[in-house]
Every structure is written in structure tokens, then in C-alpha cells.
Structure 1
């Protein structure tokens, strides 16, 4: 273990002092499972916003948690370094039957469920016009062309589209895969997708109701997994990426398309976005933690005549469990 992976005695004592208080211990127990906003933590712990903010500030000063501003919101999550590992170890040793933490967990799950239902209601209300709405933010033709270029022309056996929506990607790549599956949480979306697949005469693709956080698919069973404009609707994008990685075959590829960081609050207020885009270093950390090698990053910058300044970013990563005679991938970053 290197020095970068360990803590000094003083740092260890500082970390233990920071977490050695009931409210802060409850906070890190929640953050060990998922990132939270101050609003979330206030609702779960039943304490005032100033009090919660003060405790989060003390935890951040001890390097136990990190804060990530997104527009008018700030997300908090456990640190990635040895401080974060120390806290995770402490939380893992707390009894799951503790009544205080169990009650926190119940309230946390209720908040998570409410947010999921809010997003599902949004999708249900907009299922018929979803493709048109999505094109308002960036040219979908350009995005699709970039996806085709990133994956190349080589055929592959199996394709999984998470958050398939209207099934557009199942149509887009129908000339390359042998079989495909689209998963979505909205029954209204799936009805549209099924109609679109039937209209296109695609018999080797199907759609299924499912949860991107808990995929009901065999592990290591897909050559390509796509997550197109889905992560910004999720409270826990890293968890969805983990499920996607679990579904990849050795050497399989994950293609993620989403917004670069922006400050368009109306997308959160009016369109159920939970995240205002994703930074490059954040995505790299998530993919690295899943043993995925980032092969390509492409930024699709809108033209001067665009109504918004949204940039769409494409990340292409490969499962590093590959045969030894394959050449190592070359990382690149493109701006289109």
C-alpha cells in the first residue's frame, strides 16, 4: 500500500473526530450508499437546513466528503481517497438493525421512490413527443452520426439499450447487431417503442420494462451497451453505470451520451433533469472504478444558431477483460 493510500496518525484522528458525532455519523451512513443534496439530508434526518449544512461543512473540511455544485444545487458524496475508505469501513461495521439508521434508510428510500415516480410521470406525459423534445437541445442527427462513427462498422452480436425510450437506438444499429434488447421504466415509452419496432419490421429486437439500477439480464451477456441521454434523469448515475458494466462481455463496449456541464436550470425545473450535465473527470473516475478503459471522448458543440448552449458529450469505454493479443486502445478527445 502506497503513502497515497494511507493516512497519517493526525489525519486519522481528525477523520475520527469529524465523524464522531451522531448527526455526522448518520450523514456518512447515508452517503456511503448514495450522494445527497442538503434538501435530501434535511428531509431524511428531520433537522434544519443550517444545522445539516454545518455538519456537511465539517465533514468536507476533514476530507471525508466532497461537494459538487450543479447550478443552484450541491451534491455531496463520500471522498474517493483513504479518508473515504476509512468512513466506509466504519459504516460497514454498524449494525443494520440500528433503529435510528433503519429509520433514516426508510425515509431515504421514500425520497428516492418519489423522485423516480416524478421522472416516470414526466416520461409518461411526454412519451409521444419525446424524440421531438430531445432534438430541441442538440441535433439528434449529429449525435447519431457520432455514435455510428464511434462504434465503427464492424457487426456485433448483442446490443443493450438502457432507457431505450422510443426505441430509436434499436432502429439505428439494427444493421449491426444480431439481437438487441431495450429496457425502460416507462410503460408509455415502451408502447411507443414497440410500435416503432413493428413499423420498422425489426423482429430481432425487443423491449422490456425494467430498472436501470437492477437489470434483469444475465451478467457478461452484451457486446455493446448504450446509455443515451438517461444519466441526467437519475439520482445515482454511478449505480446505473455499474449495472451497465456488469452486463458487458469481456472486451465489450459501453457508449454513454449525455450533456456536458451546463447551467440551464429550466431543464431541472420543467423537464425532470436531476443533473445538469457531467464533467469529464467525474465520468473518467466512474468508468475507471468499473474497470473500463476510456477509449474516446467526443464533444458535440452546438452551432451559433442554436437556441441553447448545450454540448452533448459521447464517452466510449471498453471492458478491460480482453484477450492479450488485442492492441491497447488509444485515448482521444474530439470536438465536433
Structure 2
């Protein structure tokens, strides 16, 4: 097939109103079919059909996770380039575009409210819940090994929860800041840090997807068991990257891909684990690279979850 024929196919796929609306929404981050259906007010089969045409033409990429599928703009190629070019020429003031964006904001707010309600319910028992089916001791040993004998000026723990990472790494930073959007989690974290006598760390209520500049820039950013609560982990990494000093590092801890759908239904998970290729692509988009990765399988392979630890290094050629 000639390049001209390929290009005509891509143009045909993009040249339809609903599909243009989908491209515009996906330019704002990865979305699930469920959320796109709600935003557009169209049936799931219809939205899925449009997405399939866009994916077949190379304009978007699809990532299946259990019963759900997530879509985002293609990372590269003719399709990805054309998708971004088209979205860049859509009028921001277009009423339909504004309505879609408002609905996207509403959908994300509803997701955050659902997660906040869950975290408020489990705050007191969070550490116990998190340790279920996970080789927590081995994971924490790997986190300490990743930091080794270094001591950094500022450590930023995003989605700090009960402050466990601030506690574990207390000997490796001069100033620690934990940020979390759950008041209940923050209360537990403050209590635990005070009880442990850790007075060089503080926790703040805040949105880790929209960090306040007052938090400053960190030498080391830790994101521990957080990314699977977000529809678009890559978008969060790009936001976090802005809080990283040149030459800084990120330490990401999360689950490997799995099929435990109940975690999405009952425990507010949005993504069923993260793969090495996904992490590499998200890191690259944020101007970072994966410098090391390790995984820790559960003691019970039938029920448990594999935990991964990724070290992301600042790419000196791409400072933001």
C-alpha cells in the first residue's frame, strides 16, 4: 500500500464530527470507553465503533485492561502527527468543544470524589490493606536500595497516604514533603510522623495532579502505589516532572498488569496495573528515562499482585 493511500485512509478516519471530538478529548489525556460514552452522550457501541476506526487508522492507540479499554492519541507516525495537527486547529471557543471539556471536568471530579470517599473509609486501616498479597518487606528493601546511601535535600512524596514513605526514607532527606488529597489520610500521616519523631517532614493537603508551586522543586519524587488510581498515569508524571529539579529522580512503585477486576469495582482502582513498556513511554513523554526496574511477585500467585519498582532519571537534554 502506498504512502498516499495510507494518508487518504487516515484522513477519512479523522474526517467525521464525532471522531474529531474524540481526538480533542484524547488530547487532554487517556480516557476509558466508559467515560467517553458519558461525555459524548452516545451509546457505547457507537463510541467503540468510532474509536476502532481511529485506532485502525493509527490516529489513536488502545490499551485493554480487564473489562475496560483506554485510548490515547497515537504517540508517533502519520496518524499521531495528524491527530495533534487537527486538534491544534479546533477552535477553543466552539460550543461543542466547550461542552465536551466541561463534561470531562465533571467526569474527573466524580472519579476524584469516589476515590476520596474510599480513602476516607479506609484511612485507619490503609497500611494493612496495602500489605495484603504483597511482599511489602522486599519492596521496601528495594526502595531503600534504590536510594542507597544517598541523602537528598528535598524529597516529595506524591499521594503520601499514611506517610509510610516519609517514614521509611526519613534518613535520606533533609526536608520531606508529603501531598495527599484526603484529609483523613493526612491526619493519619501527621499522627504517625509525630509518633515516630520525624520532625523534618511535613504533609500537606493538595491535588497531586495540579501541584501548588509553593511545594518547590524536589531532588527525589516518590509516587508509591498511586498511579493506578488515575485514568492517565502519564499525564500525572508530566505534572510531577515540573516539580523535579534538573538531575533529579523519581521512584515509582505500583502493580504490574493484572486481571483483578474487583479492585476497580470495590477499591477505586482505575488502571489494572502498569507495564514496563507503558512506564517507558510515559517516562519518555515526561522527559525522563527508566534507569532501573525490578518486580516482586506475590507469595500466592493465584490471588496476589506483583509489585514493580521503577527508577526514573531526569533526561538532561529535556529540562522543563
Q: Same fold (TM over 0.5)?
A: yes
**3-state SS of 2:304 partner:** coil
> Residue 22 of structure 1 aligns with which residue?
17
Question: Which of these residues, 60, 66, 69, is aligned with residue 65 of structure 1?
Answer: 60
The 8 Å contact of residues 124 and 188 in structure 1, kept in 2 or not, is answered as yes
Aligned residues: 315
Cα deviation, residue 296, structure 1: 0.6
Cα deviation, residue 309, structure 1: 3.0
Runs (4+) off by over 3 Å: 217-220
> Residue 190 of structure 2 aligns with which residue?
194
Cα deviation, residue 303, structure 1: 2.3
Q: Structure 1: how far apart are the matches of 2:236 and 2:31? A: 16
> Residue 202 of structure 2 aligns with which residue?
206
Q: Structure 2: how far apart are the matches of 1:126 and 1:230? A: 15
> Residue 176 of structure 1 aligns with which residue?
172
Normalised by the length of structure 1, the TM-score is: 0.90
Question: Which of these residues, 66, 70, 74, is aligned with residue 69 of structure 2?
Answer: 74
* Structure 2 alignment gaps of length 5 or more: none
Q: Structure 2: how far apart are the matches of 1:220 and 1:111? A: 30
User: CA RMSD for the aligned pairs?
Assistant: 1.6
The 8 Å contact of residues 135 and 296 in structure 2, kept in 1 or not, is answered as no
**3-state SS of 2:198 partner:** coil
Q: Structure 2: how far apart are the matches of 1:318 and 1:217? A: 22
Q: Structure 1: how far apart are the matches of 2:286 and 2:68? A: 27
Question: Which of these residues, 4, 10, 28, is aligned with residue 9 of structure 1?
Answer: 4
> Residue 100 of structure 1 aligns with which residue?
96
Question: Which of these residues, 88, 106, 111, is aligned with residue 107 of structure 2?
Answer: 111
Question: Which of these residues, 221, 229, 235, is aligned with residue 231 of structure 2?
Answer: 235
> Residue 153 of structure 2 aligns with which residue?
157
Question: Which of these residues, 117, 120, 125, is aligned with residue 124 of structure 1?
Answer: 120
The 8 Å contact of residues 60 and 73 in structure 2, kept in 1 or not, is answered as yes
The 8 Å contact of residues 220 and 246 in structure 1, kept in 2 or not, is answered as no
Q: Structure 1: how far apart are the matches of 2:291 and 2:48? A: 39
Q: Structure 1: how far apart are the matches of 2:240 and 2:98? A: 29
**3-state SS of 1:250 partner:** strand
The 8 Å contact of residues 219 and 246 in structure 1, kept in 2 or not, is answered as no
Q: Structure 2: how far apart are the matches of 1:43 and 1:293? A: 35
Greater shift in the superposed pair: 170-179 or 287-296:
287-296
> Residue 135 of structure 1 aligns with which residue?
131
Deviations 1:226-269 (A, max 9, x none): 00000001122111111221111111110000000000111111
The 8 Å contact of residues 133 and 299 in structure 2, kept in 1 or not, is answered as no
Structure ranking higher on relative contact order (CA contacts 8 Å, 6+ apart) = 2
> Residue 326 of structure 1 aligns with which residue?
none
Deviations 1:34-83 (A, max 9, x none): 22222212111111122111111111111111111101111111111131
Q: Structure 2: how far apart are the matches of 1:248 and 1:162? A: 12
Cα deviation, residue 17, structure 1: 1.2
The 8 Å contact of residues 163 and 184 in structure 1, kept in 2 or not, is answered as yes
